[in-house]
Structure 1
Amino acid sequence: MASESTASPDTSAAAQAVSDTAKLKALRRTKAVATGALLICFATFLIARSLQAQWPWLAVVAAFAEAATIGGIADWYAVVALFRRPLGLPIPHTAIIPSNQARIADNLGNFIEANFLAPAPVREKLEQVDFASLVADWLADKDRAEGLSRFVGRLVPQALTAVEGSGLKEFVGQRVLEQVEKVNVAPLTADLLSAFTEDRRHQRLLDEFIKVVGRFLNDEDALATMREKIRQELPSVFNLFRADAYLLKRIVASAGSLLEEVRADPEHPMRQEFDRFVAGFIDKLKHSESYARRAERMKRDFLARPELQALAGEMWKSLRDFIEQDVRADDSRIRRHLAGMFVEVGRQLSSDPQIRADMNQGFVVALSAFIESQKSGVSLFIAEQVKRWDLGQMTRLIELNIGRDLQYIRFNGMIIGGLAGVLLYIAEYVIIAP
Structure 2
Amino acid sequence: MSQPAQALAPVARSDADAYAKLSALRRTKFLATAALALCVVIFAVAKSFEGRFAWLGFVAAFAEAATIGGLADWYAVVALFKRPLGLPIPHTAIIPENQNRIADNLGRFIEVNFLAQEPVREKLAEVDFSALVADWLSDADRAAGLSRFVGRLVPQTLGAIEQSGLRGFVTSRMLEQVEKVPLAPLAAELLSALTDDRRHQKLFDEFTKVVGRFLSDEEALATMREKIREELPSLFNLFRADAYLLKKIVASAGSLLDEVRADPDHPMRAEFDRFVESFVERLRTSKQYARRAEKLKRDFLARPELKALAGDMWDSLRLFIEQDAKAENSMIRAHLANMFVEVGRHLAGDPQIRADMNQGFIVALASFVESQKSGVSKFIADQVKRWDLAQLTRLIEMNIGRDLQYIRFNGMVIGGLAGVVLYTAERLFLVN
TM-score, with normalisation over the residues of structure 1? 0.90
Aligned with residue 414 of structure 1, among 392, 412, 415 = 412
Query: 1:205 maps to what in 2?
Result: 203
Assess, with a 3 A threshold, how the Cα gap between structure 1 residues 308 and 15 changes in structure 2: closer, same or farther: farther
Query: 2:193 maps to what in 1?
Result: 195
Query: 2:71 maps to what in 1?
Result: 73
State which drifts further: 299-308 or 415-424: 415-424
Letter in 1 for 2:215: L
Is it true that 1:272 corresponds to 2:276 in the alignment?
no
State which drifts further: 10-19 or 138-147: 10-19
State which drifts further: 73-82 or 325-334: 325-334
| Gap runs ≥5 in structure 1 | none
What is the aligned-residue RMSD (CA, Å)? 2.6
Alpha-carbon distance in 1 for matches of 2:264, 2:221: 29
- Matches for 1:34-45 after TM superposition, within 5 Å: 34-45=32-43
Residue aligned with 1:197, SS:
helix
Residues 96-138 of structure 1, C-alpha deviation per residue, up to 9 Å, x if partnerless?
1000111111111122222222223222322233222232232
Is it true that 1:134 corresponds to 2:132 in the alignment?
yes
Residues 185-224 of structure 1, C-alpha deviation per residue, up to 9 Å, x if partnerless?
1121112112211232222122112222223333455545
Is it true that 1:328 corresponds to 2:357 in the alignment?
no
Alpha-carbon distance in 1 for matches of 2:101, 2:142: 47
- Matches for 1:2-401 after TM superposition, within 5 Å: 12-220=10-218, 222-223=220-221, 226=224, 243-401=241-399
State which drifts further: 358-367 or 103-112: 358-367
Assess, with a 3 A threshold, how the Cα gap between structure 1 residues 18 and 236 changes in structure 2: closer, same or farther: farther
Assess, with a 3 A threshold, how the Cα gap between structure 1 residues 9 and 368 changes in structure 2: closer, same or farther: farther
Residue aligned with 2:91, SS:
coil
Assess, with a 3 A threshold, how the Cα gap between structure 1 residues 8 and 206 changes in structure 2: closer, same or farther: farther
Alpha-carbon distance in 1 for matches of 2:326, 2:184: 46
How far off its partner does 1:320 sit? 1.8
Alpha-carbon distance in 1 for matches of 2:343, 2:49: 88
Alpha-carbon distance in 2 for matches of 1:164, 1:252: 59
Query: 1:432 maps to what in 2?
Result: 430
State which drifts further: 66-75 or 264-273: 264-273
Alpha-carbon distance in 2 for matches of 1:172, 1:14: 61
Residue aligned with 2:265, SS:
coil
How far off its partner does 1:80 sit? 0.8
State which drifts further: 239-248 or 41-50: 239-248
Letter in 1 for 2:213: R
How far off its partner does 1:52 sit? 3.4
State which drifts further: 412-421 or 401-410: 412-421
Alpha-carbon distance in 2 for matches of 1:432, 1:395: 48
| Gap runs ≥5 in structure 2 | none
Alpha-carbon distance in 1 for matches of 2:327, 2:43: 90
Alpha-carbon distance in 2 for matches of 1:143, 1:11: 32
TM-score, with normalisation over the residues of structure 2? 0.90
How far off its partner does 1:53 sit? 3.9
Letter in 1 for 2:333: R
State which drifts further: 413-422 or 245-254: 245-254
Alpha-carbon distance in 2 for matches of 1:50, 1:243: 166
Alpha-carbon distance in 2 for matches of 1:315, 1:13: 61
Alpha-carbon distance in 2 for matches of 1:358, 1:207: 54
Letter in 1 for 2:421: L
Alpha-carbon distance in 2 for matches of 1:270, 1:161: 57
Letter in 2 for 1:61: V
Letter in 1 for 2:209: K
State which drifts further: 400-409 or 257-266: 257-266
How far off its partner does 1:293 sit? 1.4
Count of residues in correspondence between the two structures: 429
